Amino acid sequence: MLEERFEVRVADGKLVGHRGGGGQPALLLHGGPGLSDYTQGLAGELHALFDTIRYTQRGTPPSTVGPPYSVEAHIDDAVAVLDRAGLEQAWAIGHSWGGHLALHLAVAHPERLLGIVCVNTLGASTDVLKEFGETLMRDLSPDERAFAEQVEEEQERGEATSERLLEQFRMLWPYYFADPRAASPMPDIAFGSECAMQTWASIGAHVAAGTLRDGLRDVRLPTLFVHGELDPLPVKTAAEAAELIPDAVLEVLPRRGHFPWFEAPGDVRGTIERFLA
């Protein structure tokens, strides 16, 4: 799929992204937080179904926008990207943390959205994160697990470097898949440690305040949750969020993990097409 590179000036830097495809406009929001954009394959899968706009969020190369790294700042960036694209409204299609961000965008700026698609998303609560971590690490060797837990402790203390977090993510990558032995090669991903740690703190503050728990009840947008059955991030996080939004739809993809468009190209597109129909 041909895409056009774009830049959006925000505060002290720029957000770097790509636009391509055709159809209704859709803002793609990648996961993390703190990762660079890895949704090129998802955008390609949605080609001709959506005009996709994807970008790397603040705090991670090639984007150069610095702090604050908060949910509010990420929401403002998403709106700035829509403005730069000349769009009054678009679908928000988010993966993992990006789905969580899409839900915040729906609460804060419902007038800017045509609808929401959350793919293997973190829902309205962080209660599942302990289970997620245990599932993700259950097949690690003792040495690998010790390293992963050490990096987690460094992150909790605010001491984890981008290099350490990327090394941990690279080690864990196969275990995001339903079958780690068949995992796709990891894309070329950059990591922004400061963004990751501060955004997670902001996510936690919003969970404590009930921003999504309360706000999603008033969302009146077409909403689809797509979640892999064997994702280490448990399906219940999407199910609980779907229950908060009137008429939201949850579709579980059998035998799929956290990155279904890598594992079974066409599954996500087909699910969305059925939903739109």
How much is the mean pLDDT over the chain?
96
Per-residue tokens: 10: 């925000």
In a domain, 142, yes or no: no
Rounded distance, CA 125 to CA 71, Å? Answer: 14
Domain that holds residue 206: 3-127+191-276
CATH code, domain with 107: 3.40.50.1820
Helix pair 162-172, 193-209: axis angle to 10 deg: 80
In this prediction, residue 85 has a pLDDT band, given cuts at 50, 70 and 90, of very high
Tens digit of each residue's pLDDT (9 = 90 or more) over 128-186 = 999 999 999 999 999 999 999 999 899 888 888 999 999 999 999 999 999 999 999 99
Q: Each residue of 89-128: pLDDT tens digit?
A: 999 999 999 999 999 999 999 999 999 999 999 999 999 9
Instruction: Read off the pLDDT of residues 43-79 as tens digits, 9 standing for 90 and up.
Output: 999 998 999 999 999 999 999 999 999 999 999 999 9
Instruction: Confirm whether 166 is domain-assigned.
Output: no
Write the burial class of residue 130 (CB in 10 Å: 0-12 exposed, 13-18 middle, 19+ buried). exposed
Examine residue 209 and state whether it is found in any structural domain, yes or no.
yes
- pLDDT score at 160: 86
| Entry pTM | 0.96
pLDDT at 226: 98
Measured distance CA(197)–CA(199) in Å, rounded: 6
| Within a domain: 230 | yes
Q: What is the strand order of the sheet 90-95 is part of?
A: 3-10, 13-21, 50-55, 24-29, 90-95, 113-119, 223-228, 249-253
Q: Which of 114, 92, 135 is closest to 235 using CA atoms?
A: 135
The total of structural domains in the chain comes to 1
Q: Give me the mean pLDDT over the 202-231 stretch.
A: 98
Nearest to 20 by CA among 55, 51, 45: 51
pLDDT of residue 183: 96
Residue 252 lies in a domain: yes
